[in-house]
Structure 1
């Protein structure tokens, strides 16, 4: 049985004034299964094409915090998965942001997350 889920692409925008970005991850939420996870992949060479001065190490650490937030770390400890998802996908003007939220159907959200990462990021 396929169940509904929501997902957003995590984007790196190293120079906000230029508006250029690369896809660096996916965050996926399924309310029905109480599933929330993010998977990331930072392609350093692509990032440096947009900004040769980009701090790849700092951006990678920030990406790791997206995955930790999904797992309830830090300030998200008392939030439910749906609240964490909404917090992560809320508009922001930082180097990392979420793109628009999309919907889908899948039998296995974890497998779908990996498929979306491969399709949209790698």
Structure 2
């Protein structure tokens, strides 16, 4: 018997060091699968590529922002009020556009039988 196919949504997280130049680097993915009660993030911060976009960028702060996203996904109390919300509201919080260095791209969707494996696949394909 095959596992059921479940719909999911995801956003790619982009580091935009200088919005005036409209350059960005994909640094993470957030995936939400409501039917599997799943919300998680997977990320990778390529310090050299980020510094190539902006030598003055605080890459440690970018990594801390990505860790915050991960904590929100996992309901970690250190992430504050956002982490205490239901999964769908947490995803809504994380996919909302912001004018910061770390920005979510558009929402995309698909179907999967394994949300965690799909998240790893998307991170590898879209972030590297």
Asked whether the two chains share a fold, i.e. TM above 0.5, the reply is yes
The residue that corresponds to 1:21 in the other structure is: 24
The residue that corresponds to 2:112 in the other structure is: 106
The residue that corresponds to 1:46 in the other structure is: 49
Q: Which runs of 5+ in 2 are unaligned?
A: none
CA distance in 2, matches of 1:6, 1:38: 12
- Residue correspondence of structure 1 range 84-95 to structure 2 within 5 A: 84-95=90-101
CA distance in 2, matches of 1:115, 1:59: 22
Q: Which runs of 5+ in 1 are unaligned?
A: none
Write out the 4+ residue segments of structure 1 that deviate beyond 2 Å after TM superposition.
none
CA distance in 2, matches of 1:86, 1:24: 19
Whether the aligned pair in 1 keeps the contact of 2:9 and 2:32 (CA below 8 Å) is: yes
Q: Deviations over 1:70-105 (max 9, x none)?
A: 012322233000000010000111000110000100
CA distance in 2, matches of 1:112, 1:17: 33
Q: Does residue 59 of structure 2 align to residue 56 of structure 1?
A: yes
Taking only aligned residues, the RMSD between alpha carbons, in angstroms, comes to 0.8
Whether the aligned pair in 1 keeps the contact of 2:39 and 2:73 (CA below 8 Å) is: yes
CA distance in 1, matches of 2:51, 2:63: 13
Q: Kindly state the Cα deviation for residue 33 of structure 1 after the two structures are TM-superposed.
A: 1.1
Q: Deviations over 1:24-60 (max 9, x none)?
A: 0000000111100001100011101110111111111
CA distance in 2, matches of 1:97, 1:72: 20
